[in-house]
Structure 1
Amino acid sequence: MLRGVYPGRFQPFHLGHLSVIKWALERVDELIILVGSAQESHTLNNPFTAGERIEMIRLSLREHGIPTDRYYIIPIPDILMNSVWTYHVRMYVPSFSKVFARNPLVIRLFKEAGTEVEIPPPYNREKYNSTLIRKMIILNEKWEDLVPTSVSIFLSNIRGIERLKELVGSDKR
């Protein structure tokens, strides 16, 4: 059985992430979706908890008919030592032989650790970009068509849109 890893923060999960997962699942039997920076939440860069991101991903994969026996979703906290990060990852996840990543640091670290890395297509990164989506939410711009419908509904249900807008607020008046 061939198993791969796809790391990301998924803040929020968007259609570009979904495209990478579909692409990766054409190359492996099972995919470990690694929810990085799991300890982070309620900040502008990481507004959603690991649990909320796991729910977004599960809802999206269900919405798009991806069977649950094809993937794992595992949260992993950051460590502040890049040189041992890949070993840290391996402590949290089932065994794997391949990594799917576009992040240059992630690619370098896994290559140095002797793990095969495949770089997925960019899937319109200018449009499907979590930083941009968070900014669009804050500025009341149309962002809903950049995420799976289930993510848009989920963010509304957890008041995630309000959370993001409040995070940019200031107590200085």
Structure 2
Amino acid sequence: MQSTKEHRAFLIGRFQPFHLGHLEIVKRILRENDSIIIGIGSAQYSHTTVNPFTAGERHLMISRTLEREHVYNYYLVPIEDVNANSLWVSHVEALAPKFDVVYTNNPLVRRLFTEKHYEVRSLPMVNRSEWTGTKIREKMIKGENWEQNVPEPVVEVIREIDGISRIRQLSTTDEDVP
């Protein structure tokens, strides 16, 4: 008899911005699971050089990308930081649909979910020499080609919100203002 239990995975990230490495990881997770919950971490932060995009903007980046890729078996859940690590998993559980397995390479996230008896799996790092949010944001600030490292819908959202102008302005100091 075949099991009818759905296997749902959980993945958390800041997705500042959602890049091709994230997309590849989502696709790999979905090869092993029926659906995925994508937690948009640090949802309360935006308009800084480290977190330039709002949770809503990141939601758009991810949902438009997955729609274009014909991926529909996902949930997007903004998750604010709680600044109390011992409470964080309970916070996630209160916000997200139930899930069976957590995918992360973050040592703290791994530890917190393991302590709550979740199965935690590692993720392969995909083209980390180019596909990191930090490197992509640096390229945006410097005016270098960043577009090749993110899905086309992400480029469209960033242009729509004038994200390049935002991150460049945020990267300046008061001494840079004429």
Verify same fold: TM over 0.5. Answer: yes
Which residue number in structure 2 is paired with residue 33 of structure 1? Answer: 38
**Alignment partners' CA distance in 1, 2:59 and 2:85:** 24
Which residue number in structure 1 is paired with residue 111 of structure 2? Answer: 108
TM-score, normalising length: structure 1 = 0.96
1:172 shift after superposition: 2.1
**Alignment partners' CA distance in 2, 1:103 and 1:139:** 28
**Alignment partners' CA distance in 2, 1:75 and 1:125:** 25
Amino acid at match of 1:82: N
Which residue number in structure 1 is paired with residue 3 of structure 2? Answer: none
TM-score, normalising length: structure 2 = 0.94
Which residue number in structure 2 is paired with residue 132 of structure 1? Answer: 135
Percent of aligned positions with the same letter in both sequences? 45
SS of the residue corresponding to residue 132 of structure 1 reads helix
Structure 2 residue 53 is matched with structure 1 residue 21: no
Amino acid at match of 2:62: I
- Which one has the largest radius of gyration? 2
**Alignment partners' CA distance in 2, 1:84 and 1:169:** 36
Match for residue 57 of structure 2 among 38, 52, 60: 52
1:112 shift after superposition: 1.2
Q: CA RMSD in A?
A: 0.9
Amino acid at match of 2:15: F
Which residue number in structure 2 is paired with residue 153 of structure 1? Answer: 156
Moved over 3 A (4+): none
Match for residue 84 of structure 1 among 84, 87, 101: 87
Match for residue 9 of structure 1 among 4, 11, 14: 14
